[in-house]
Amino acid sequence: MSPQVAGQLELLGQVLISGILLGGLYSLIGLGMSLIMGVMKIINLAHGELMMVAMYITFWAFTLAKIDPYVSLLIVFPLMFLLGVSVQKFLLTPVMEADTVLPQNQVLLTVGLGLVLSNLALLFFTANYRSVPVSYASKTIYWDLKLGGQTISLSFSYPFLVAFCIAGVLGASLFIFLAKTDTGRMIRATAQDKRAAALMGINTKRITYITFGLGAALVGAAGALLDPVYYLYPQIGGPFTSKAFVITILGGLGDIPGAVLGGLVLGLAESLGSVYISLGYKDAFGFIIFVLVLIFMPRGLLGRGRA
């Protein structure tokens, strides 16, 4: 193998690795959104803003109390759960049955909520870009591969790798929770048929609170994991809301395993696209795939979601 080919392979391998690692975080963001979409049948357009809130919690925990971002997950997860429960209980549930000309009232409400959250952050924390300067931010692990006489050296960013693993653990716990526990079964039943679930004695209102809480907690965890590798500012939510709905549609609406796949696909598409096509259009690839999937595979990549 010539050194040129080896160099190309090295680049490709590196791009795939960073795509998959990023995709793991995207999956976590998508899981929360997909869960909410499955049960409430609404698109949460404040999803990215919820993540922004979690990122600021992590940031302040680190700055004020020197709490490591990965440890602060223990604070972020319950706090975001409570925030999610309150949003569903005090904002979304009351407008569910209002009589209106415009459809999608709840979705528009989440738009308003997103504006409130990002502008509160702007007011209190200013528009400055901030970061969490952890000691391991640029730590990398190298992996040398011998291939046809050439050495291909691949690098893994340590914080991305940790984030990927924690995301995997959280995702797996969610599957076990949904599959094995009573509450998990109730959530799945409510997602399948809300009225039937109510007739079976499930308190569907309580289930919607828990679902939104879980969705917020999951995206909050993604925010905490993103902090060591990304910067944060009040308007960071918007692009991530877009990513979240792209992931959810890619996976098929309400399809939980699909959301994981959707996240990985988006991560790979962005990383491949920005290296091989154009860096400037990095964010456009997700949208283009999104529209193509909506048109040609409206039930998601796995073909199991609701069309």
Partner 1 sequence: MSRKNLIGLLPIAAVLLIPLLTQNPYLLHMFILSLLWIVLGQSWNLLGGYTGQISYGHAAFFGVGAYTTGIMVKSGQSPSTAWWGLLFGGLMAALVAAFIGWVCFRLRGSYFSLSVLALSEVLRLVAVNWNRLTNGAEGILFIPAFTQKTYYYYIVFALAAVNLGVIRWVMRSKPGYYFLAIREDQDCAESLGIDTTKYKLLSLLISAFFTGAAGAFYMNYMGFIDPGIVFSIADISIMMILVTMLGGAATKWGPAVGAILFILVSEIFRVWVGSGHLLFFGVLIIAIIIYFPNGIVGTLVDRRTRKRRLRGAEAVA
> From CA 307, how far away is CA 299, in angstroms rounded?
5
* Minimum distance, C-beta of residue 85 to partner 1, in the bound complex (Å): 17
Inter-residue contact 213 to 39 (CB < 8 Å): no
Inter-residue contact 80 to 53 (CB < 8 Å): yes
Q: What are phi and psi of 140, to 5 degrees?
A: -130, 150
> From CA 83, how far away is CA 89, in angstroms rounded?
10
Type of residue found at 198: A
DSSP result, 68-100: -HHHHHHHHHHHHHHHHHHIIIIIIHHHTT---
* Minimum distance, C-beta of residue 264 to partner 1, in the bound complex (Å): 19
* Minimum distance, C-beta of residue 101 to partner 1, in the bound complex (Å): 5
* Between 18 and 106, CB nearer to partner 1: 106
* 139-174 core/surface letters (b: 16 or more CB in 10 A; e: else): eeeeeeeeeeebebeeebbbbbbbbbebbeebbeeb
Strand, helix or coil for residue 132:
coil
* Between 162 and 244, CB nearer to partner 1: 244
CA dist list (Å): 75 to 30, 165, 215, 227? 21, 19, 16, 14
> From CA 101, how far away is CA 147, in angstroms rounded?
64
* Minimum distance, C-beta of residue 198 to partner 1, in the bound complex (Å): 21
Give every CB contact of residue 191 below 8 A, 6+ residues apart in sequence.
Answer: 38, 39, 254
* Minimum distance, C-beta of residue 162 to partner 1, in the bound complex (Å): 31
Inter-residue contact 115 to 52 (CB < 8 Å): no
* Minimum distance, C-beta of residue 240 to partner 1, in the bound complex (Å): 13
* Between 45 and 197, CB nearer to partner 1: 45
* Between 71 and 297, CB nearer to partner 1: 297
**Token reading at 227:** 């902090």
Strand, helix or coil for residue 46:
coil
* Between 143 and 287, CB nearer to partner 1: 287
* Minimum distance, C-beta of residue 98 to partner 1, in the bound complex (Å): 5
Q: Which residues bind partner 1 (CB under 8 A)?
A: 42-43, 91, 94-95, 98-105, 107-109, 111-120, 122-123, 126-127, 238, 242, 245-246, 249, 278, 280-281, 283-284, 287-288, 290-291, 294-295, 298
* Minimum distance, C-beta of residue 216 to partner 1, in the bound complex (Å): 17
